[in-house]
Each structure stands twice: as C-alpha cells, then as structure tokens.
Structure 1
Amino acid sequence: MGEHEHEPSPSRRRASEDDETPPNPSVQAMSKPVHEDSPLLSPAGTAPEEEEGLIGDSAVLDDDPHDDYHETKSVWYMILLTISIGGLQLAWAVELSNGTPYLLALGLSKSLMALVWIAGPLSGTLVQPYVGMLSDNCRSPWGKRVPFMAAGAAATIVSLLALAWVREIVGGFLSIFGADRESEGVKVTIIVVAVLFVYILDFAINTVQAGIRAFILDCAPSHQQEAANSMASRVVGVGNIIGYVAGYINLPKYLWIFGNTQFKILCVIACIALGSTVALSIGTIKERDPRLGPPATKGQSGLLTFFKQVFTSIRRLPPQTRKVCEVQFFAWIGFFPQLFYSSSYIGDIYVQPFLEENPNMTPVEIDQLYEKATRVGTFALLIYAITSLATNVFLPFFIAPSYDNPSANSSNPSSSLHPPKIYTTRFTRFLDRLVIPWLTLRRAWLLSHCIFALCMFSTLIVRSIEAATTLIGIVGISWALTLWAPFAIISAEVSKRDALRRSRKTLHTDESPEDQAGVILGIHNMAIAAPQILATIGSSIIFKFLQKPRGTPGDRSIAVVLAAGGLSTLVAAFLTSRIKDEVEIPEEGVVEEARSGNRREERRLLARSGSFGGLEY
C-alpha cells in the first residue's frame, strides 16, 4: 500500500500553538477511541502527535467521550451495515417482476390489477412515517430500529411464502369442509386471499425498509453518511442483478426441492436472502442504547397523534431535507412509469414488425409473440441493473466529497470541500487524484435528472430494439443516483443535527423540538410514494385515449407516458439546482460547544472520508 506520510498542516500547528491549556490526563484518556482493535473500525493514529488532530464539525458535535459512533468506519463495517437492504431488494424484485403474471394466472382481471398494486404507494405513504415515529420512541434494549427490522422481515417472509402457496393453503383448508378445489367459489376465495397477502407483504416490506434506512443513518458516523448510502445503493444493485439472473434460470430444474414452480422457488430464495442479511446486520452492528437517551413521550402511538405529528414534522423539516423532498416528488412522477413500463415499451417495439406483417394472427400466436417480447424487455432491465451497479461502484471515486466532509461547517470556506489530510498512503493519494473537484454529489444528481429526461423524450423517436435497450441501460445511471444522492444528503443533515442535539443535552441547554431519523425518513418516503399515485392516475388517462387493443399495430401510448414523466423530471432538475453542496448546522451549536471549554474533541484525528466508504483502510 506504500509508506505512510505524516505532514502536519498549518492549521494543526496553529491549533497546537494556541492551546496553552495544560494537558489533562483524564481528558486525554477519554479522547482515545474505544474498541480501536476492532476489525470493523478504521485504524486511527495513536501517536501523541497524531491525537492532536484537526478541528472540524465532527469534533464539535461529538458529546459522549465513550461514544465510538463518530469514529471513521471501514468498508467492512459499511458492508455489514447495509447488506440487509440487499436482501430486502430481492423480495421487492420478486414481487415487482413476478407478482403481476402470478396474480393473472390465479384469474385476477387486469382491470382489478391497478387496485392491487396501489398497495405499494399507499403503504409507502402511511406505513413508513408511522413506523419511523414508533421506532423513534422505542426504548427496547435491542435498539430503536432492530425490533422493527426483525418483525418486518419475519412478516415479509411469512407473507411471501403464503402468497406462493396460496392455492394449496386455501384449497386445502376449504377441502376440509367438502369444497371442490376446482369450483368457482374456491377460485374466487384464492384470489381474495392472494390479494390480502399482497397488501400484507407491501406493509411488511415498508416496515423493514423504514427500519433499515433509519438503522443505516443511526449507525454510520455523520461524516460518512454519503459513503454509507453509496454502499447501500451498491448492495441494492447487487440484489437487483441476482433477482434478474435468478428469474432467467429454469429454477425448477435445479432447485426442485424448494417448490415446483418458478415463483415458489424465487420466493424461497428471497426469504432466505432477507432473513440471513437482516440477521447479519443486526448481529454485527450495535445500535446506541436508546435507554440512555431521553424517555419516550407518552401517548405517541395513536393514529390521530400520528397524523398530527406528520403535519407538524413536515412544517419543521430541516432545510436541505425539505428541498430533497420537493425534488423527489417531481422526480418520482417520472421514475414510477419508467420502472413499470420499460420492459413493455421495448416489448411493443419488438412486436410491431410482426403485427404489421401478419395482422391476422390467432390469439395463441399473439400470446406467444408477447411472451417472447417480455423476455426481450426483461433483458433490457438486466442491462439497466448492471449499469446502475457499475455507476454506484465507480462513480464515487470521481465525486468530490461534500456531505461526507467533517469540515463542511468550518470557518474556513476553502476547506469546505477539501479538508486537509494528514494520514495518507500512495493508494489514497491515487484515489484523491481521481476526484473531479467540481463534480459534487448534488451536481451529479442534477445531471442524472437531465439524462433521464433526455432518454424519456427519446422514446418517442427510437423504434429499434438495440437503441431502446441502450436508452433503458443509460437510465440505470439516473437510477443509481436516485438510490444514493437523496439519502446521503438527508442522512448527513439529520445525523449532524442529531449529534448537535446530544451536545446540547450534554451542555444542559434547552432543547428545541426536533424530529429524529425515523420520522424524517418516513416523510421523505411519503414524497416518493405520493407522486406514484399521481403517476398511476396520469398514466391511466393517457392510456385511455391512446392505447390500442392488444395485438393491434401502431400503439405508441407507453412512449407518450414515459416522455410525460421526462417533463416532470426537468422540474426536479431545476429544484436540485437550489440544493446546497454542504450541510450546515445551526451556528449556535458551535458557539455553545466552544463555551464548554472542552479541548478533547479538537484533538481527534480526522481521516479523509471519501464516498467509497473507507476502501483505503
């Protein structure tokens, strides 16, 4: 890795010269990082001169001398912290890619399908904020988020397996009372129970997702929130690719022990992945003990209280978070149709030449043609997932760290984006040379909106399979930034405000009411889920006027829906330009901490934390 270099910066020398306070042994003892031998923590310098460190916001905000949650974490810590969201993504992938064909095979009509899939946006709008509020007030000895992650994962596993075996469960139960499994009444009952399990599944998935997102925010240091969410987006990309590859393989041929259909085996695989990854995360990453914090507010679990708190929390959202929610609202009006109709868009392009050459195809021939078109469209989604993962792996090397920067609120503006480095190697210096100074995460997110809009507008003129597949693959870049940038910006702001809140508590100052991670992330999810309902309604109106009967050539309705989503994304791009490249904390927090006269935090060595999340360690 190369020889280590240790060059004291001018700022360190000035801090050392100005500090005339005699050393306090007890303070020095407390300033040493705890658990420094843990393989999950990045090594910190232990030499006396290295313990003097740099003065930055991370030091200003840390209040607990025995709190190691502000220590820079290694890449392995980040992987273990975020791996559970990869298992969750498999469950999402199974539902989204195979749920519609499975319900249609049970006999559900297409007209009722929209009422079924509205469960996703509906549960995202209501469940995640409610779970966030409950977890914020949870004082379990296992942590605030772990009980909801475990309970949500268990409910997801049960509902997935019940949905896959709903024919056997309902048919077997009714046969006890003498009902014929092939009767119309039993078939209708199977459909009703299946739809019920779909709703339970969506509510359960949103529960575990709310817990995981808040868990990542709580357990990642404030100066590594950008890195943690970048790692989470990579793990989601891996989960997507595994899900698509599993869908391609003829699973009953190789994994017949798990079931006799593709859907059953996919559900078993998703359950194993979700259960094992959630167990790995909560088994290796320890939350702060919530019992050491302020007691939970009584009477906060009622629905009336929930809606009241949501509206109150929306009004007092942190400034950066509010702007991110505004961006997400318009961005997801465009993303929702793209996620659901990309494969159908490519499938329509594939079938057009065949329908024009043979307009008198039989229904069986039309079904076979569209089945082949579905596989062609699914291949484009695989390219889309691979592009997204590649973007999340390589793009962070070129992003100038901003929300990860521990000195973002420093009095020296020039150090805002590029804090001085003390502990370096040849490899870290090589990584530093890759960074494009002007390409902050916010600007990359803005460019991704423009790329998405351009690709959606191009669907109106692109009429070849190769070009359409390329378009959908390019959109994977925008999807990668959507999974990373908004969560990183929000997490950085919430994490620093939370650290400031603990600092005020330490200084015995009055604490103004501020929402914690669970409620804020829940409101952010509302900004994602609510526009999906609007996008569904808008898409239905366009289809009503432009859609042609299945098997009729010349249908361009899906391209119009996608292009309309591109218009909304341009609004999101404009709103993204109003977001700052740094997360600022209230200045009074810095002043209060300075008055405490605590020199301990000013002596902590802060290593550069790039977006890759500790690869240099």
Structure 2
Amino acid sequence: MQKTKPQLNFWQIWNMCFGFLGIQFGFALQNSNVSRIFEALGADYSNLAILWVAAPITGLIVQPIIGYMSDNTWNRLGRRRPYFLWGAIAASLSLFIMPNSPTLWLAAGMLWIMDASINVSMEPFRAFVGDMLPKKQRAMGYAMQTFFIGVGAVVASALPWMMTNWFDISNVAAAGVIPDSVKFSFYAGGSIFMIAVLWTVLSTKEYTPEQLAAYEEAQSAEDGIFAEPQVVRSSQQYFKGGIIYSAIGVLLYLLIAGNIESLDKNLYIMAGGLAAFGVCQLIAGYLRKKDRTSNGFSEVMNDLFSMPQAMRQLAVVQFFSWFPLFAMWIYTNSAVTSFHYSTKDVTSAIYNEGADWVSILMATYNGVSIFAAIIIPMVVRFSNLQFAHLLNLTLGGIGFISFIFIKDPAWLVLSMVGVGFAWASILSVPYAILSNVLPAKKMGVYMGIFNFFIVIPQILAASILGFLITKVFDNQPVYALVVGGCSMLIAGIMTLRVKIPE
C-alpha cells in the first residue's frame, strides 16, 4: 500500500464536497428566513434571540456526539457517509414542514429539529476532508467546500426574491400566515438538499479505519511531527471546575430573577449554560473517580480539556468571529426594515420589500465568498495565513459597523462585500490549520468540539443582544450589527496569536 494518502483529482474533490451545496441550502434558508417566519407568526425583535437559541444549542449538543459516533462507525456506507444520508433525510423533511407551521412555538420547535438534522449531515463533512485528502490538498478541499457554501447560499438566500420576481409568487400574506414565496423556497431547498448529499454518498468511497491509521503513521514519520500527548484530567480538576461554573450559573440566575424588571429574560440562557457546563464537569469527575471512562461522554469531556495548542488559540478567534454572524442572522431583517425602511408592520408592502432586500443582501455576502475563496490563497502566498485572516476579518468588521452609517439600503451591498470576505475566510482558514494538527482517529470528535466555539458565542449573542437592544440601544436592532462588527475586529487581532505548525 502507498505510504501516504494519494492525491485526488479535481473531480474527486468536487464529488466529495458537492453535498455541502445542499447543506448550505438548508442553512441559508434558515438564516435568511426564520426571523421573517417568526415575525409573521407574531414575534418581535425583543424575543427573536430566545427563539433562535434553539439552533446553537442544538449544534452544541449534536456535533460532538455525531463526531464521536462517526469516528467509531464503519459499515457498508462507510464512516462519515451514513451521517450525511440520515441527516439529509431528516433535514429535507424539516424544510418541507417548517414554513407550514401554524403557530410561533411550533415554528420554534421545527427550527430545533431542522438545525439538529442539518448538523448531523454537516459535522462529518468537515472531518471528511481530513480523512480523504493528504495534508497538501486539504486547503483545496476546504476551499471547495467554501465554493459550494457560497453557491448554495447565494441561490437559497435569493429564492424568496426569485419566487416573487421570476415566478410571480406572492410575497405578502395576511397576519399570522407565511408568504407563499417563502414556502416554495423551502420546498425547493429540501429537494436540493437531498439530491446534493446523495451525489456525494454515491460518488465517493471512504478509506477503511485500518487504511487511515496506516496513512497517519506514515505521514507522521515523514513529517517528523507526532501528535501532542493526551492529557488526562483528574477527578479533582473536574469537581473544582464543576463547582465554580455551577455556582456562577446559580448566582447569575438569582441575580436575574431578583431584577427581572430591569434585566432581560434572555440572560437566563447564559445562566443556564454556565450551570449546565458545571454539571457536565461534575458528572465527568464522578465517572473519572469511579474509573468509568470508557464511554463517549467521558472521552468528549477529556478531549475538550486536551485540545492541541493551535486549536485552543483558534478557539478564541472563532469565538469573536461567530458572535457577529449570529447577530447578523437574527437582527438584519429587523435592522433593515426598521432603520432603512422605517417600518415594523409585517403585513405592509414596504416591510416585505425590505425583507426581500435582506434576502438579496444575504445572497450578496455569500456570492462574494465564492470569489474571496479564490483570492484568499493568493493573499496567503504573498503573506501568511494569519495576515490573510486578519485582513478579511477586518473587512467584515467594517462591513457590519457601516450599517449604522449607510442610509440608502441599496448601498448596503457594499457592507456585505466585506462580510463576504470574512465569511469565506472563517469557513476555510481555521479548518485548514486545524485538520493538520488533529489525530486522524479523533478528527470527528475534535471537529465537533471545535464547533463549541462557534456555538458558545451564538448562545452569548442570544443572551445579551436582546438586553442591549432594549435597555441600551433604545430598541434599535441595527446596533446589534455594530456590536458584531467590533467583535469581528477583535477576532482579527487575536488571529496574530495563533501559532501555525510548519
């Protein structure tokens, strides 16, 4: 057998990444339209965040579980492909059901199910690139994923506008009813999701666990670089951390409950998250003390505290990078319709015109990301990964902040150009670095853990942005985007701390 993994040709990489086209159809429809669906069913911007929190919490739970399971799966479909397929079936059904939700809370429940299903398909795709490609082709693999993410998101984000302007499907509906343009967009997205994932499942063959182990051993010997030793966290360390986080969560809960008139109810999310993390550490400590660690929960918890150095540094960058993205997905619709179109009446023609324009803005940043994915490697060639990521995140931060200064909504397209460069960089540069520092046998679970630092800032956003908008920014959602822009600028600076392996 060949010592290291063989290089794949262009079309092989194309086939293995094609499923991401469908996955991004699902995410783009969700990100561009769920706030619109919630508002149509009676929500307002003050409770959008708490409704949206289902999505990041789902990812926080699902991704490490699926990563661990896929690391330890091998059947007729392979290692990662079973999860692509099962997730696609559930996600496609959810996309058909979501726009037919008769009530707000049913729609919120469907968001939870839909996001969980999309995550089941998506998480193994990140590890799939590390499994299938040699190190020098992984950057190309993640760039190809970014390409499909961009294409899928452009088309999916613009679907409601296309349904109205190309197919004459109404974008206006009575109060409590979701417009037909949104419904038909979700139907198209569900179909494309299933077809794209099936393409990858049927066209790509995976390496066996034995082949992967042999390839990793040969690659490590060739590079002279071996995995960092696994650190085992003691029961005392777990108990100490568990007590501290649980206590902070409970105290924060009591503070909020005692001042609920002056504080925002969304802060309960933060209190609950801290307490839950503390409880998880207490459980892990108990299992460690009883020497019952041969289970997925214990392994994931220990891996969380044993991340390679580069992964820990990237985690900080991810945290500040994803906070503004969640702010954008929750509040752009409210910000643009209220600040740039001067209306909050969801049944009015001007509101729906603004909501359709938001779909175009979402399509714009995703479209820009397609070209940015081509340009970023050129920037890296003349500088390095850190500088390229810093530059792109800076463009994104400026783009978000500019929403407050631009009055004509047509010019917001320029803002989304900056966001598009940041988005392309966020989807490729961190994963290209990460896949080269992770052991192959734990690629899935570490990719799932890395998702924590995408999800945690989203939960934080859901916890504090509603409070900031109502209590600090005089009920103007556009300031959520400004806060997000500042966060992205911080992420760019933190990129300079990341030590990239030679």
Q: Provide the rounded CA distance (Å) in 2 between the counterparts of 1:476 and 1:348.
A: 23
SS at match of 2:437: helix
Of 371, 381, 387, which residue of structure 1 is paired with 2:362? 381
Q: Does 1:392 align with 2:393?
A: no
The residue that corresponds to 1:367 in the other structure is 348
The residue that corresponds to 2:449 in the other structure is 523
Q: Does 1:326 align with 2:252?
A: no
SS at match of 2:74: coil
Q: Deviation at 1:66? A: 4.2
Q: Provide the rounded CA distance (Å) in 2 between the counterparts of 1:210 and 1:283.
A: 19
Letter in 1 for 2:400: M
Letter in 2 for 1:487: Y
The residue that corresponds to 1:418 in the other structure is none
Is there any run of 5+ residues in structure 1 with no aligned partner, and where? Answer: 1-64, 168-189, 356-362, 401-435, 499-514, 550-556, 585-617
Q: Deviation at 1:481? A: 0.7
Q: Deviation at 1:371? A: 2.4
More helix by share: 2
Q: Deviation at 1:136? A: 0.9
Q: Please give the per-residue CA displacement for 1:102-134, whole angstroms capped at 9, x wherever unaligned.
A: 344445676654333111110111110111011
Q: Please give the per-residue CA displacement for 1:433-477, whole angstroms capped at 9, x wherever unaligned.
A: xxx3x2x23321111122223333444434343443312222211
Letter in 2 for 1:286: K
SS at match of 1:492: coil
Q: Does 1:493 align with 2:456?
A: no
Letter in 1 for 2:14: I
The residue that corresponds to 2:233 in the other structure is none
Q: Provide the rounded CA distance (Å) in 1 between the counterparts of 2:93 and 2:294.
A: 30
Is this contact kept in 1: 2:160–2:359, CA < 8 A? no
Q: Please give the per-residue CA displacement for 1:10-60, whole angstroms capped at 9, x wherever unaligned.
A: xxxxxxxxxxxxxxxxxxxxxxxxxxxxxxxxxxxxxxxxxxxxxxxxxxx
SS at match of 1:72: coil
Q: Please give the per-residue CA displacement for 1:252-307, whole angstroms capped at 9, x wherever unaligned.
A: 98599xx993333222221221111111112121111236678xxxx9xx999444
Q: Which has the larger radius of gyration?
A: 1
Is this contact kept in 1: 2:331–2:478, CA < 8 A? no
Q: Provide the rounded CA distance (Å) in 2 between the counterparts of 1:286 and 1:531.
A: 36
Q: Provide the rounded CA distance (Å) in 2 between the counterparts of 1:131 and 1:520.
A: 11
Query: TM-score scaled to structure 2, two decimals?
Result: 0.75
Which structure 2 residues correspond to residues 99-114 of structure 1 after superposition, within 5 A? 99-106=34-41, 113-114=48-49
Q: Does 1:463 align with 2:389?
A: no
The residue that corresponds to 1:135 in the other structure is 70
Q: Deviation at 1:487? A: 1.3
Letter in 2 for 1:453: G
Identify which of structures 1 and 2 has the higher relative contact order when contacts are C-alpha pairs closer than 8 Å and 6+ apart: 1
Identity %: 24
Is this contact kept in 1: 2:21–2:152, CA < 8 A? yes
Is this contact kept in 1: 2:379–2:388, CA < 8 A? no
Which structure 2 residues correspond to residues 205-216 of structure 1 after superposition, within 5 A? 205-216=118-129
Which structure 2 residues correspond to residues 234-383 of structure 1 after superposition, within 5 A? 234-250=147-163, 254=167, 261-290=180-209, 305-352=295-342, 367-383=348-364
Q: Provide the rounded CA distance (Å) in 2 between the counterparts of 1:536 and 1:151.
A: 29
Q: Provide the rounded CA distance (Å) in 2 between the counterparts of 1:340 and 1:132.
A: 27
Distance 1:336 1:103, change over 3 A: closer
Distance 1:364 1:380, change over 3 A: closer
Q: Does 1:537 align with 2:463?
A: yes
Distance 1:142 1:474, change over 3 A: same
Distance 1:569 1:158, change over 3 A: same
Q: Deviation at 1:308? A: 2.6
Q: Deviation at 1:482? A: 0.9
Query: TM-score scaled to structure 1, two decimals?
Result: 0.62
Letter in 1 for 2:78: G
Distance 1:568 1:287, change over 3 A: same
The residue that corresponds to 1:125 in the other structure is 60
SS at match of 1:447: helix
Over aligned residue pairs, what C-alpha RMSD do you find? 3.1
Q: Please give the per-residue CA displacement for 1:92-111, whole angstroms capped at 9, x wherever unaligned.
A: 12222222333444456766
Is there any run of 5+ residues in structure 2 with no aligned partner, and where? Answer: 170-177, 214-286
Q: Does 1:158 align with 2:93?
A: yes
Count of aligned pairs between the two proteins = 417
Q: Provide the rounded CA distance (Å) in 2 between the counterparts of 1:206 and 1:262.
A: 26
Which structure 2 residues correspond to residues 369-518 of structure 1 after superposition, within 5 A? 369-400=350-381, 436=382, 438=383, 440-494=384-438, 497-498=439-440, 516-518=442-444
Letter in 1 for 2:363: L
